[in-house]
Amino acid sequence: MQVAQKLARQAPRALRARGLHSTRATLAKILCSDPIDPVCIEIFEKQGHQVDSITGLGEDELCGIIGDYDGLVVRSATKVTPKVMDAATNLKVIGRAGVGIDNIDTPHATRRGIMVMNTPGGNTVSTAQLAVSLICSAARSIPAADMSMKAGKWERKAFSGVELKGKTLAIVGCGRIGMVVAKWAGAMGMRLVGYDPALPQEVADEYGIELASLEAIWPQADFITLHTPLTPDTKDLVNAETLAQCKDGVRIVNCARGGIIDEHALLDGLNSGKVAAAALDVYSSEPPPAELADLIAHPNLISTPHLGASTSEAQINVARDVALQMCDTLMGRDYVGVVNVKFMAMAQKAVMRPFMKLGEQIGEIVSQCAGGNLSSLELRTWGGMDIDITKPAARELLKACVLRGALRHIASSEPTLIAAPFLAGEMGIDSSVAGDIVRPEGPYRNLISVDITTSNGQKMTVTGSVFGEDPHIVQINDHNSFPAFVPEDTLLMFKNEDKPGAVLGALDVLRQYNINVAKLRLSRQDNDVALCLMTLDSAVPAQAVEQLDTLGTLSDVRTANFA
C-alpha cells in the first residue's frame, strides 16, 4: 500500500475517534512508524502536536516522508538508518518506546544533531519479571515438563531440578532491571554477586549484592542473568573462554540484548553439559536465522520471542513515557531519556547563555589564531555566578560550545551544538575536560580556559570570564596585562617589538585598506616582546595580513572574525 493511501486511511480515522478538529494549530509534526498504544498519540495531540501513525514502511518509503516531521517514534521494527536520517531535514528527536536503541544509528543521529531518547523505566518490571520467571523455569525444567505432559507422558524423574535458595546468582549489569531482579532473587534466598562499574558500593550493599570483577564472577555463579546494553565491550561477553571459567552445570538467562552471548559457544556448552540450561528471550538476529535452529531446538534451552516488554502494562508505560518525554524535549522543557546528549537540560538554563557564548567565542579565536589545524583541545573551568560551571554537565556543555565555535570556521557547514563534539572527533580533534584551572590575577568570579595543540605542534591558551552578562577575554597565552575585552567584529592579534614605533607600521597598513581600529590593547611582559590586540570594524584581507607579516617588527600575525 502506498504511503499516501496509508496516511489517508489511518490519520482521519484517528482524528475522528478522538473528536479532534483538523484546524487545530500544531506545534510539531510527529510520525509513529511502529504500532504503539493509543495513549502515545493522545498525549501528543492533547499538547497540540500533529501525529501521523503510518506503520510497515520500508526504508525508501520512510525516506520519502520523514522530511516533513520534527519527531519520530519507533519501537523495534523500524530501522532508523543513516539514509533515513539524511532525508530527515527537520527531525529533532527520535523516541524509542522501549530500552534498546540498536535499531537506531545513534552515532549518525549525533552527527546530524538529532537527539535519540529511550524509555528505560517503562518496561523495567515486565522485563525483570520475565528474567526471574526464566530463572525459575531453568531451575525446574518447567517448559520441558509441560511438553512431556502434553505428549501424554508422566516423567517425574526426568525433570528433577534444583532449589534457588542458597544458589549464587551473578547479575551482569545492575541497572534498573538488574536491581529489580536482585530484589526478587534475594527474596528467594539467592546469594547475589554483581558486576557493574557504575554501581555505587552503598547501593550494592542496600540490595545485598557483592560487587566483583567479571573474572571473579564466572567461577562463583550457579546462575547468570545478563542485563547490559549491547556495545563493542559486551559483544559476545559470554563466549567459549568465559564459559570455561564457569562451574559445570551453570544456568544462563538473557533478557537483555541479543549478541551478548556467543550463541555457537552456548550450543557447545549445552551439548557438553557445561551449561545445564539456558533461557533466551533475545537473539543476535531476530527472528533467529536457520543457523540457530539447533540451538533453539535444544532440549535444555528455553526460548521466547523477545517478550521482555510484552505486557499490556509495559506497552502502555513506554507509549506514555515516550510521548511525555518527546513533548518536553520538543518544547525545550526537559531532556529525560536522551542518550546521545547529556547537556541539553543545562543548555536551556538562562544563566548559562553568557558562558555558552563565551565558549563559542573562545573556540572561534583558537581555531583561527592557533597557526595550524587543531589536534587537541582541553577545557578547564572555575567558579560561576548564579550557577556552578565546574559541574560535569556544565563542563561538557561548554566544551561543546567551544568546539562549535572552533568548527564554525573550519567545517563545511554550521555545526549544531549536539553534533559539534562528534564532528570534532571525526576530524581528528581530541577534546577533553580537565578539572583544575590556573587562575590569572584579577577580580574574576568565573573563568573558562581552553588549551589547544595544533598538528604542527603549536600551542595556544585562551581564557575568558563573564562580567555581568558579557563575555570577556582576559588572558591569551602568558599575556594577561591587557584590559579585558569583548570578542566582537574582527580581532587582529600580533606580537611586536616592545619599542617606540613598532605598532605604527601595522596602523599604516590598516589605513591603506581603509580598516578602522575600534579599540587597541597592549600587553607587556618581562621581555622585549609585547602582544597587541585590535578590535577592527571590518575584516582584514589576506593581502593585508601578508603585508603585516613582512613589516619585520611584527610576528605571529593572526585574525579572528566573530559570528
Known catalytic residues? 257, 286, 306
Bridge-based pairing of strands 529-536 and 490-497 is antiparallel
**For residue 21, what is the DSSP state?**
-
- Write the single-letter amino acid at 69: Y
Q: Strands, DSSP E only, in 152-240?
A: 168-172, 191-195, 209-211, 223-226
Could you give the CA distance from residue 431 to residue 424 in angstroms, rounded to a whole number?
Answer: 8
Scored b (16 or more CB within 10 A) or e, 38-51 reads ebbbbbbbebebbb
Could you give the CA distance from residue 284 to residue 260 in angstroms, rounded to a whole number?
Answer: 8
Could you give the CA distance from residue 122 to residue 183 in angstroms, rounded to a whole number?
Answer: 18
With left for phi above 0 and alpha for psi between -120 and 50, is residue 458 left, alpha or beta? beta
* SS3 state at 331: coil
Beta bridge partners of 559: 492
Beta bridge partners of 431: 377
Scored b (16 or more CB within 10 A) or e, 456-483 reads eebebbbbbbbbeeebbbbbbbebbebe
Q: List the one residue out of 309, 261, 326 whose CA is nearest residue 41.
A: 326
CB-based contacts of 202, cutoff 8 Å, min separation 6: none
CB-based contacts of 264, cutoff 8 Å, min separation 6: none
**Cβ count near 130 (within 10 Å):** 25
Q: Are 57 and 78 in contact (CB under 8 A)?
A: yes
**Cβ count near 156 (within 10 Å):** 8
Phi, psi of 169 (to 5 degrees): -105, 120
Q: List the one residue out of 204, 40, 3, 25 whose CA is nearest residue 122.
A: 40
Q: What are the helix (H) ranges across 274-342?
A: 293-297, 312-330
From the centroid of its chain, how far is CA 174? 20
CB-based contacts of 177, cutoff 8 Å, min separation 6: 124, 127, 128, 131, 227, 255, 256
Place of cell 538562562: 350
**The C-alpha cell that represents 398 in the structure block:** 561548554
CB-based contacts of 64, cutoff 8 Å, min separation 6: 3, 87
**What's the full length of the chain, in residues?**
563
